[in-house]
Amino acid sequence: MPTVSPSLLLKHCRLPDDSPQVSPVDIAIAADKIVAIAPQLDLSAPTVIEVAGSLVSPPFVESHIHLDSALTAGQPRVNQSGTLFEGIEIWRDRKQALDFDDVCQRAMQALKQQASQGILYVRTHADVSEASLTALKALLSVREAVKDWMTLQVVAFPQDGLYGSPDSADLLEEALRLGTDVVGGIPHYELTREDGVRSVQRIFALATQYDRLIDIHCDEIDDDQSRFLEVVAACALRSGLGSRVTASHTTAFASYNNAYALKLMGLLRRSQINFIANPLINITLQGRTDTYPKRRGVTRVKELWQSGLNVSLGHDCIQDPWYSLGTGNMLDVASMAVHVCQMTGQDEIQACYDMITTQGAKTLNIADGYGIEVGKPANLIVLDAESPQAAIRDRATVKAVISRGQILAETTPPRLSWYL
């Protein structure tokens, strides 16, 4: 029993890894910490939530999103081809007139929309290819503004490449000095393969010098010759940075021949890097040059998971030059992964749930403070579902979002009336 009296008590909570036979537990929170978890806590608290057997989960983790471009779909024009490259061109036009307050306001709107749907940890990319670094400065200020209720990591992301124009590499380093959590890159978009390799080496040198995490947009193309993932993994292995490194997208991995993929998988296991797939975006941006058969363009999520590697999932986009849809709901992302990656077994659907929760926390290197355990920060969500599988199936409403021991948002599930 806790020695301090709880401020918040959740009754009859079903945890994500419970089997249906295990009876629900009560969770006591005092200030911003979880202080007790037991089948029956005889405690009182000023606020009691009767969960009645619903799923209580650690919050969702959005491990990959671009908040600087979020909510700009159609500005200044829509993406007609649906390709990554047209999206980059549209964004290049849009970002010429980027305004600090405009970025802050859109990012905040997207973050609140995500938080209300149970996301309390977000890794956002910030384009650092503009001389003013407006996108980056705005997202760093948003990180500060939300810090009491949401953990936001900012990646310095050189959208136009490190070596495509003379100032880009310096801008990336300036972004690290300004305080980004993570350093990014885009080797498949550099002018030559050699530039791509050089960019990865530079990113590792900067991460070591400034003591930052790494998250590289890697091989986001259907080209089976795009092989920067092996460079990233080799650098992670040699530098010892391992799990501090993430390869995002890696869509070309879905096009590699199996003989090469087998060899690569061995290197990946040794390197212990993290992977992020963005199934909503990968399935729509990739395969655009195919007729039929048409590739799905999502990396080998199931095989990476079966190999014991850490895979998490992200939106990548919410209503931007690359994708005009998206509501910020991680259960949409997990549902798309279940379908596109053919992870339809019960344990596989559970794995997709883990990819938007615990595995996302591992990618962000925040696993120590994450999870529903005594002594950990009181961050948790109550879903209108009895299990992770049902949550994904129903895109269940997140009924309550608790951040640092406080109720941050509540949503009432829709109620149907039949008049048949």
220 catalytic, yes or no? yes
Q: Report d(CA 168, CA 230) in Å as an integer.
A: 24
With CB atoms as reference, the residue minimizing the distance to ligand 17E is 322
For 20, 27, 249, 317, the CA distances from 93, given in Å and listed in that order, are: 53, 50, 24, 18
Residue 415, classed as helix, strand or coil, is coil
302's contact among ligand 17E, Fe ion, none, with CB below 5 to 8 A by partner kind, is none
Q: What b/e sequence results for 167-195 when a residue is b if at least 16 CB atoms lie within 10 Å of its CB, and e otherwise? A: ebbebbbebbeeebbbbbbbbbbbeeeee
For 67, 84, 168, 282, 324, the CA distances from 316, given in Å and listed in that order, are: 9, 12, 22, 9, 12
Q: Considering only the stretches 176-184, 202-210, 265-273, 315-323, report the one whose residues sit in contact with ligand 17E under the rule CB under 6 A.
A: 315-323
Residue 313, classed as helix, strand or coil, is strand
With CB atoms as reference, the residue minimizing the distance to Fe ion is 316
Among 317, 364, 398, 408, binds ligand 17E (CB under 6 A): 317
Query: Considering only CA atoms, which of 192, 291, 259, 273 is closest in space to residue 230?
Result: 273
The contact mask relative to ligand 17E for 73-92 (x = CB under 6 A, - = no) is -----------x--------
Q: Which residue, 336 or 382, has its beta carbon nearer to ligand 17E?
A: 336
255's contact among ligand 17E, Fe ion, none, with CB below 5 to 8 A by partner kind, is none
What is the closest distance, in whole angstroms, from the C-beta atom of residue 282 to ligand 17E in the complex? 8
Catalytic residue among 86, 220, 230, 348: 220
66 binds ligand 17E (CB under 6 A): yes
Q: Would you put residue 404 in left (φ > 0), alpha (ψ -120 to 50) or beta?
A: left
317's contact among Fe ion, ligand 17E, none, with CB below 5 to 8 A by partner kind, is ligand 17E
Q: Report d(CA 54, CA 177) in Å as an integer.
A: 45
Task: Tell me if 346 sits within 8 A of 400, measured CB to CB.
Answer: no
The footprint of Fe ion (CB under 5 A) covers 316
316 binds ligand 17E (CB under 6 A): yes
Residues that contact ligand 17E, how many (by CB under 6 A): 10
The contact mask relative to ligand 17E for 203-232 (x = CB under 6 A, - = no) is --------------x--x------------
Q: Which residue, 204 or 322, has its beta carbon nearer to ligand 17E?
A: 322
DSSP letter at 247? E
**Element housing 195 (H / E):** helix 193-210
Helices (H), 124-165: 134-145
135 binds ligand 17E (CB under 6 A): no
Among 9, 140, 176, 186, binds ligand 17E (CB under 6 A): 186
- List residues binding ligand 17E (CB under 6 A): 66, 84, 159, 186, 217, 220, 281, 316-317, 322
Residues serving a catalytic function are 220
